[in-house]
Structure 1
Amino acid sequence: MMNIGIDTMGGDFAPLEALRGIKKYLSENKSGAVQLTLFGDEAVLNEIIAGEDIPTGSIRIVPTTQVIDMQEHPTKALKEKPHSSIATGFQHLAQDKTDAFISAGNTGAMLVGALFNLKTIEGILRPVISSIIPKQGGRTGLILDVGLNADCKPEQLNQFATLGAVYARHILDIEDPKVGLVNVGEEEGKGNLLTQSAYALLKANNTINFIGNIEGRDTFNDKADVMVCDGFTGNIILKLAESIYDISRNEGLENAYLNRFNFEIYGGTPVLGIEKPVIIGHGISKATAFCNMIYVAEKMLQTGVLQKLKEAVQQS
């Protein structure tokens, strides 16, 4: 049985929306094949569980007494708050008491916790975080890195491409994902020193379907399924994409494609390159996002994607 850990205290609307997301997930999945371990204030959680009429058969609560706030320094907070929901969640994950960990709390603390509590997959130069990008025509794309590595080396971008292709194949169900390098022009030789050097490595990488450079205008079309860039560029693209849904709501626009920019549909962002699934959600995540984060963690465990990432890195 899979055991997925959830930080119920992280996020602007925690713990209520976290528990509502858990209720939504449990209502859709009655097989009992997944155990949910909740980290948080036991009294508060039990009160909400009773008030929301949440079934408890697949739930276990691990009491915690501290919360890492969004504004706190990640490393300092993890050190000074060992009994927080995030720190305790990583302790359980590292000790194999859970199989995956989810949080919409302090992003920095989640990243630091993942890097210091879990082993990196052998051969990984640097872990990376990716994000879903809705494409026109109903397709779904993946962009990475989106913030973990602001400064990158060409070898890292090449490895991001390998990781992204494996993830897209097994989690997004894209049979032969097209990999593009985000650049300022389509022609080979375009870009700065990083992209010029990375292009040569990607072109020689026989584990991916590299299609060459892609430009900003290709972000939302079907030219590439996996879009590779440094974390500085990727984070700007991600935040721009996130704003599209807010703008469409503010302008009163009702459009099937624009509605797909609602980040809650996709749940959270996985950290790729570490030995266990860690899913980081947006701070303003509500029930739908929490529910879908559980689905992402479940699918990562079901497909054994982390083992497939390890095999792909060793082959490249």
Structure 2
Amino acid sequence: MKIAVDIMGGDFAPEAIVEGVAMAATNLPKDVQLVLIGQQRVIETLLPKYTTEPLSNIEIVHAEDVIEMGEHPTKALSQKPNSSIGVGFKLLKEKQVDAFCSAGNTGAMHVGALFSIKAIEGVMRPCIAGFVPQLGGGHAVMLDIGANADCKPEMLAQFGEIGSVYAQATFGIENPRVALMNIGSEEQKGSLVAQAAYQLLKESRRINFVGNIEGNDMFFDKADVIVTDGFTGNALFKLGESIYALTKKRGISDEFLDKTNYESVGGSPIVGVNGNVIIAHGISSALAIKNMIGLAIRQVQSDAYNKIAQMLS
């Protein structure tokens, strides 16, 4: 298994990315190799700072250009094919790597996935999934958390279906509970889009739909899959992440609240494309990068995207 990592993407790249890679490389399964994509001279200079031993499970692929965080995604990808993101997607498309991870330009990662490995046939809009810790243990999958700010009811219903397959494949949940994020638990609550999505989810024979949940249900084991549009999902997810920063400022330490720290999972997969793509926070630390690599390994092992394709076929 080969996991490709964009070394040049992120607010604290390349140092934090290389440090996170070194942390991950010391405890990888024997069949996993890390492919570091970026400026070779930079990578070779930084690696000795974070590891005293030569790492046989690391390979370097040179990519001279860098897509900056503020660049226009489509324009940057077309003008910089030799960027670390461009090269990463080329390797993924050619199946030279099994997953591609980056803390770089989120828009470029999303556009790159759509134009290289493309959406799974039948998927209306690929989405970004986030992991919401649950009081009973484990995580619920929330989708979308930012790729599609405006969603039609049919898209939300499909998020429920592909999210259910993803949760089953990745977390081993036999019959995932799918819920729609709404402003009330009653069937008739919410916007016209939410009401229409509710009916489609209710009628779907592919999922175990348990109805609406509200924002205050997020952490309380009400669902395994939480369906929402990317605007609402992004706001809720980032509010959840802020809990950790708030508790630290208040001097509070709690095992569950620590799981709301973005570093604990390390990244978010793009669900609905023909391959494994993981997007990390731009502010990712070395620990976040280490955990992002772990998430990528689990996603490859789950074969979730092929299972989604089989469901839709």
TM-score between both structures, scaled by the size of structure 1? 0.95
Q: Does the CA-based 8 Å contact 2:25-2:58 persist in structure 1? A: no
Structure 1 residue 37 displacement after superposition: 1.2
For 1:208, the equivalent position in structure 2 comes to 207
1:181 corresponds to 2:155: no
Structure 1 residue 39 displacement after superposition: 0.7
Q: Could you give the per-residue CA deviations for residues 35-73 of structure 1, whole angstroms, max 9, x where no partner exists?
A: 211111111111111222253311111111111111111
For 1:47, the equivalent position in structure 2 comes to 45
Q: Does the CA-based 8 Å contact 2:127-2:144 persist in structure 1? A: yes
Q: 1:35 aligns with which of 22, 33, 36?
A: 33
1:17 corresponds to 2:16: yes
For 2:142, the equivalent position in structure 1 comes to 143
Structure 1 residue 109 displacement after superposition: 0.8
Q: What are the residue-to-residue correspondences of 1:1-316 with 2, within 5 Å?
A: 2-31=1-30, 33-53=31-51, 55-314=54-313
Higher mean C-alpha deviation, range 133-142 or range 259-268 = 133-142
Instruction: State how far apart, in whole Å, the 2-side matches of 1:205 and 1:137 are.
Output: 27
Instruction: State how far apart, in whole Å, the 1-side matches of 2:256 and 2:140 are.
Output: 14
Q: Could you give the per-residue CA deviations for residues 147-200 of structure 1, whole angstroms, max 9, x where no partner exists?
A: 111111111111100111111122123332211101111111111111111111
Instruction: State how far apart, in whole Å, the 1-side matches of 2:26 and 2:54 are.
Output: 9
Structure 1 residue 23 displacement after superposition: 1.7
Instruction: State how far apart, in whole Å, the 1-side matches of 2:258 and 2:42 are.
Output: 34
Supply the RMSD in Å over aligned alpha carbons: 1.3
Structure 2: which amino acid aligns with 1:168?
A
Instruction: State how far apart, in whole Å, the 2-side matches of 1:19 and 1:67 are.
Output: 16
Q: Does the CA-based 8 Å contact 1:23-1:55 persist in structure 2? A: no
Structure 1: which amino acid aligns with 2:34?
L
Q: Find the residue that maps to 2:300 and give its secondary structure.
A: helix
Instruction: State how far apart, in whole Å, the 2-side matches of 1:43 and 1:56 are.
Output: 17
Q: Could you give the per-residue CA deviations for residues 218-270 of structure 1, whole angstroms, max 9, x where no partner exists?
A: 11111112110111110110111111111111111111111111111111010
Q: Does the CA-based 8 Å contact 1:12-1:283 persist in structure 2? A: yes
Instruction: State how far apart, in whole Å, the 2-side matches of 1:63 and 1:238 are.
Output: 35
Name structure 1 gaps, 5 residues minimum: none
Structure 1 residue 137 displacement after superposition: 2.8
User: Once superposed, which parts of structure 1, at least 4 consecutive aligned residues long, lie more than 6 Å away?
Assistant: none
Instruction: State how far apart, in whole Å, the 2-side matches of 1:176 and 1:287 are.
Output: 35
Structure 2: which amino acid aligns with 1:95?
E
Instruction: State how far apart, in whole Å, the 2-side matches of 1:29 and 1:99 are.
Output: 15
Structure 1 residue 29 displacement after superposition: 2.0
TM-score between both structures, scaled by the size of structure 2? 0.96
Q: Does the CA-based 8 Å contact 1:162-1:313 persist in structure 2? A: no
Structure 1 residue 93 displacement after superposition: 1.2
Q: Does the CA-based 8 Å contact 2:25-2:55 persist in structure 1? A: no
Instruction: State how far apart, in whole Å, the 1-side matches of 2:177 and 2:29 are.
Output: 36
Instruction: State how far apart, in whole Å, the 1-side matches of 2:50 and 2:138 are.
Output: 36
Instruction: State how far apart, in whole Å, the 1-side matches of 2:164 and 2:43 are.
Output: 39
Aligned pair in 2 of structure 1 residues 167, 251: CA closer, same or farther (>3 Å)?
same
Structure 2: which amino acid aligns with 1:42?
Q
Instruction: State how far apart, in whole Å, the 1-side matches of 2:19 and 2:174 are.
Output: 34
Structure 1: which amino acid aligns with 2:117?
L
Determine what percentage of the aligned residue pairs are the same residue: 48
Q: Does the CA-based 8 Å contact 1:8-1:18 persist in structure 2? A: yes
Higher mean C-alpha deviation, range 112-121 or range 170-179 = 170-179
Q: Does the CA-based 8 Å contact 1:159-1:313 persist in structure 2? A: no
Instruction: State how far apart, in whole Å, the 2-side matches of 1:224 and 1:5 are.
Output: 32
Q: Does the CA-based 8 Å contact 1:90-1:114 persist in structure 2? A: yes
Paired positions, count: 312
Q: Find the residue that maps to 2:247 and give its secondary structure.
A: helix
